[in-house]
Amino acid sequence: MEVLLVEDNPADQMLAQQAFKDANTPCTLNIVADGEQAMMYLRNIDQYKNANRPKLILLDLNMPKMDGHEVLEAVKTDPELAGIPVVILTTSSNPKDVKSCYAAHANSYVRKPADMNEFTDAVRDLEHYWFDVVSLP
């Protein structure tokens, strides 16, 4: 179960890795640091030539160069990539962000909890939902 995490903040990258470890999920977490890298990964360009297609994308919103909204747009308008579920994972609770992400066909929107335990629970729930409950293409 390949999961792609698109997150620029190294602290958040580390927290996510820790959460996945604590949640004891069978997922493999791949991390890219910005939107451009994410697109290269998904399209198997350059160093990502041999990257596996992820089953799930966890996408942060506030990133330099190419931010989450643009990545979401790019993925969901590309017929090759549109089928991959995209879960927005962000600290923003702004209703405008929620609205625009769903409008751009994000599959769900998750607010990153500040509490580590809550984050771990959320990751566990996410993994359970997307890989056990839901059928993926």
Partner 1 sequence: MKEDTISALEVVDVQGSSSATTSMPGVFVWGIVAICVIPFLLTLAGFDFGSHAEKFDMAEMAQASGPAQVDAMFNRLPGAFAHALLEWTAFCAAIFTVLLAFSQFRMTGDITTPIIGMALFCAGCMDAFHTLAAARLITAEASNQDLIPFTWAICRIFNAMIMIIGVSLFLRKDFNFRLAGVPFLIGTSVLFMVLAYAIISYCANSASLPQTQYPDSLITRPYDVIPLVLFAFAGLYLYPKFYRKVPSLFAHALIISAIPEVVVELHMAFGSSALFDSHFNIAHFLKIIAYVVPFLGLMLDYIRTYREQQQAHEALEISQTELELQAGKLKIINEELTTSNAELEQFAYIASHDLQEPLRTVTSFLQLLERDCKEKVSDDGKKYIDFAVDGSMRMKQLIEGLLGVSRVGTSDQEMVATDTGEILQAVINTMHESIERSAAVIQYDELPTLHVDENQLHQLFQNLIGNAIKYCDGTAPKIVVSAEQVDGVWQFSVADNGIGMSSKHYSRIFQIFQRLHGREEYSGVGIGLAICKKIVERHAGRIWVESTVGEGSTFYFTINESTSARLSAVG
Question: Does residue 91 interact with partner 1 by CB under 8 A?
Answer: yes
Judged by CB under 8 A, the residue of 116, 125, 129, 136 near partner 1 is 116
Q: Is the dihedral of CA 73, 77, 81, 87 positive or negative?
A: positive
Question: Does residue 67 interact with partner 1 by CB under 8 A?
Answer: no
Helices (H) and strands (E) in the chain, counts: 5, 5
Question: Does residue 132 interact with partner 1 by CB under 8 A?
Answer: no
CA dihedral 115, 111, 69, 65 (to 10 degrees): -10
Residues 6-25 that bind partner 1 (CB under 8 A): 9, 11-12, 15, 18
Judged by CB under 8 A, the residue of 115, 132, 133, 137 near partner 1 is 115
Q: How far apart are CA 45 and CA 124, in angstroms?
A: 31
Q: How far apart are CA 91 and CA 60, in angstroms?
A: 8
Name the DSSP letter for residue 51: P
- Single out the segment in contact with partner 1 by CB under 8 A; choices: 31-39, 79-87, 106-114, 125-133: 106-114
Question: Does residue 107 interact with partner 1 by CB under 8 A?
Answer: no
The SS3 of residue 89 is strand
Question: Does residue 103 interact with partner 1 by CB under 8 A?
Answer: no
Binding site for partner 1 (CB under 8 A): 9, 11-12, 15, 18, 62, 91-94, 112-117, 119
